[in-house]
Amino acid sequence: MNHKEHFDRHGFALVQGLYSADEAASLRDHYMNIRERGAFSGDMGELGPASSDPLLRYPRMINMHRSDESSLEWLLSDRITSHVARFLDEEPFAVQTMLYFKPAGARGQALHQDQYYLRAAPGTCVAAWMALDEIDEANGCLQVVSGSHRLPLLCVEQADTTQSFTDASVSLPDGLAAEPVVMSPGDVLFFHGQLIHGSYPNVTPDRFRRALIAHYINGSAEKIADYYFPLLRMDGSEVRLVDNAPGGPCGRFVDRDGHPIVEMTHAA
């Protein structure tokens, strides 16, 4: 099965060795250097070097491509975007970059769907999630629910914030389960915006789980949540779509004659 077939069937595709280990190490060092300089304009959370929370000592960075040339080059690189275009069946718009440090002891992220946040319409988003370290279950690899990209957006519930740095989660019925994705530096996992995914805490004593992430949407999309402007075409030029109003219908699993089905309900 090729990557496109796997993506269409399962909602994700792992492209191993898309970047070399040396390239991944260079990017890892680049972002560690930025982090060590102090607060960054895109920090998701206040930097607290002496905090007991590892995620405050190494907060996520977001939209680095707006001020960092290396991030912009990676976001628009043909190595990444050629895969995204195949998965979307059209040229994408580039939306976002993120760097997750996830140091030892850091919480994970509860199960969720990226499209819940981006709200691209028509169509969806695709994530490109690149490992900068050896990533396994111990340091909190991604967990994905194969085939869940065929589900609608699900209603969110309160997450366990002792285990997740976000407070929103989706629930799974019996018969659906998340599976770990073990990755090496330079591997890139591409996944559909409605794929349910998340991660557990990093329980190692001394290992990071650093990941460089981008989001893209269909080039035919007409709307997206306004937080993500400006979007970029593949030549780097800016494009603006109509702002999406927040909310919309969402699904909940309910039991029908012993089988879980999704019932659409109130606004998400």
pLDDT at site 268: 53
Q: How far apart are CA 71 and CA 94, in angstroms?
A: 12
Find the angle CA(40)-CA(45)-CA(48) to the nearest 5 degrees: 80
Q: Is residue 242, in this structure, part of any structural domain at all?
A: no
Q: Is residue 207, in this structure, part of any structural domain at all?
A: yes
Report, as an integer, the average pLDDT of 138-164.
96
Task: Grade residue 244 by pLDDT with cuts at 50, 70 and 90.
Answer: confident
User: Which residue blocks in 45-181 are alpha helix, DSSP H?
Assistant: 54-57, 69-75, 78-88, 115-118
pTM listed for this prediction: 0.94
Q: Note whether 117 and 154 are within 8 A (CB).
A: no
In this predicted structure, the answer to whether residue 227 has a pLDDT above a threshold of 90 is no
Query: pLDDT per residue over 80-104, tens digit each?
Result: 999 999 999 999 999 999 999 999 9
Report, as an integer, the average pLDDT of 113-127.
96
Percent of the chain with pLDDT over 90: 82
pLDDT at site 177: 95
Q: Is residue 252, in this structure, part of any structural domain at all?
A: yes
Q: Is residue 239, in this structure, part of any structural domain at all?
A: no
Lowest mean pLDDT among 108-112, 214-218, 237-241: 237-241
Domain count along the chain: 1
Range of the domain at 206: 3-228+247-267
pLDDT at site 185: 98
In this predicted structure, the answer to whether residue 107 has a pLDDT above a threshold of 90 is yes
Ramachandran assignment for 236, one of left (phi > 0), alpha (psi -120 to 50 degrees), beta (any other): left
Report, as an integer, the average pLDDT of 110-134.
96
Q: Is residue 98, in this structure, part of any structural domain at all?
A: yes
Report, as an integer, the average pLDDT of 137-158.
96
Q: Note whether 99 and 212 are within 8 A (CB).
A: yes
Q: Is residue 233, in this structure, part of any structural domain at all?
A: no
Question: What CATH number is associated with residue 154?
Answer: 2.60.120.620
Report, as an integer, the average pLDDT of 177-205.
98
What is the average pLDDT score of the chain? 94
Query: pLDDT per residue over 18-61, tens digit each?
Result: 999 999 999 999 999 999 998 887 776 777 787 889 999 999 99
pLDDT at site 222: 95
Task: Grade residue 255 by pLDDT with cuts at 50, 70 and 90.
Answer: confident
Report, as an integer, the average pLDDT of 246-259.
82
Q: Which amino acid is at 177?
A: A
Sign of the C-alpha dihedral computed for residues 116, 117, 123 and 128 taken in this order:
negative
Q: How far apart are CA 93 and CA 165, in angstroms?
A: 28
Q: Is residue 238, in this structure, part of any structural domain at all?
A: no
Q: Is residue 237, in this structure, part of any structural domain at all?
A: no
Instruction: Supply the angle between the helices 78-88 and 3-10 in degrees, to the nearest 10.
Output: 50
In this predicted structure, the answer to whether residue 232 has a pLDDT above a threshold of 80 is yes
